Amino acid sequence: MIRVSRGAISLIATLFGLYFAGMGIFWVTRYEQPVVGALGIAIYSVAIIASIALYRSRRIPTFQALANLAVAAYLPLIMDPIVAGATHNTFATWYIGGLGVLLAATAVRGHRTIAWVSTGLVVTEVVAWGGITAITDSGLIGMVLLVAAGQAISFGLERAAVEANELANQARIDAAATAATSVQRLERKERAQRALESSLPMLQRIVAARGNLTESERVEAKLAEASLRDEIRGRELINDRVREAVRLARIRGVEVVMLDEGGLDAAEPELRSSILDDVAATIDGLTFGKVTVRAPANEAWMVTIAATAPGSAGPVLWLKLP
């Protein structure tokens, strides 16, 4: 992508605006009142430099836009009378094209309404001075086209700013999502690693015994396998309190299923801890059957606890937390 510095753009625009002042200097001695002509050139030059080169933000201050309106209203009033009748269709009317640049800059820099009001004043004054033919032979058409171009550029810049903000916001959202995903992956990896480390002694015993385990070792192996599954599938549903409650429930013969589908991802730490305390307390109160603890995504609640018993037609316990 080709990038052009703002300073370079301002310099080019300023030089373009001062080009019309240069033409005025060329014609100043031919005016009926050269001093007035020089005054008009000075007023225009100050306005064009201030409007294009002075302010850092894209939008110029309102007082500068109003000053440009005053220049647009005043300059034709002092310049028109000193233009000789035979030269009004030459560069003697440089100020009309110059005002086109000034008002285009006013539109580009955030004051489109003031720019068009100023344009209307200039057109009215010039036509009142030179008649209807002044529209075609004094530069009015070019002035209006310049202001229209300034308005188009202004709309384009505003749209580009909106799209840039949208892209920046989306980039921040994507970065946050990527970071969250990375954290979740790292956390799952750490959980699985801890579970494997805790299961390693049992796995070594199974290998050493070639699968010939005592009854108590078989029970311990099943608990280790279930614990490993909990760490992988349970994610945010698992903490030390819940982990111990689930282990004791399984020893009592309760079948426990832990399934985190993302329901706790957005929960504050204190709220998550309170919910998991309730989960552990509920599991502590079960002595038989099966209990499924889920953290569903995109629900009005964060955790559900469903307990069933052999022979029952429906759940004997159904809780939604919080």
**Rounded Cα gap, residues 201 and 224, in angstroms:** 10
Residues sharing a CB contact under 8 Å with residue 32, sequence separation 6 or more, in sequence order: 81, 82, 83, 84
At 321, phi and psi to the nearest 5?
-120, 140
What burial class does residue 73 get, using C-beta atoms within 10 Å of its C-beta: 0-12 exposed, 13-18 middle, 19+ buried?
A: middle
Domain locations along the chain: 6-167, 233-321
pLDDT tens sequence for the chain (322 residues): 445 566 777 788 888 888 888 888 888 888 889 899 999 999 999 999 998 888 888 888 999 999 999 999 999 999 888 887 655 567 788 889 899 999 999 999 889 999 999 999 999 998 888 888 778 777 888 889 989 998 888 888 778 778 878 888 888 887 777 776 666 667 667 766 766 666 666 666 666 666 666 767 677 777 777 888 888 788 888 888 998 999 899 988 899 999 988 888 888 888 889 999 999 999 998 888 899 999 998 888 889 999 988 877 778 888 888 7
Please give the pLDDT value at position 1: 46
Cα angle, residue 228 at apex, residues 226 and 232 outer, rounded to 5°: 115
Residue 46, CA distances (Å) to 19, 42, 64, 224, 269 in order: 13, 6, 11, 84, 62
Number of residues assigned to the chain: 322
- What pTM value is reported for the model? 0.55
| Among candidate residues 241, 217, 215, 243, the one with its CA nearest the CA of residue 228 | 243
The 3-state DSSP class for residue 295 equals strand
Query: Collapsing DSSP states into helix, strand and coil, what is residue 322?
Result: coil
How far apart are alpha carbons 125 and 37 in whole angstroms?
17
The 3-state DSSP class for residue 260 equals strand
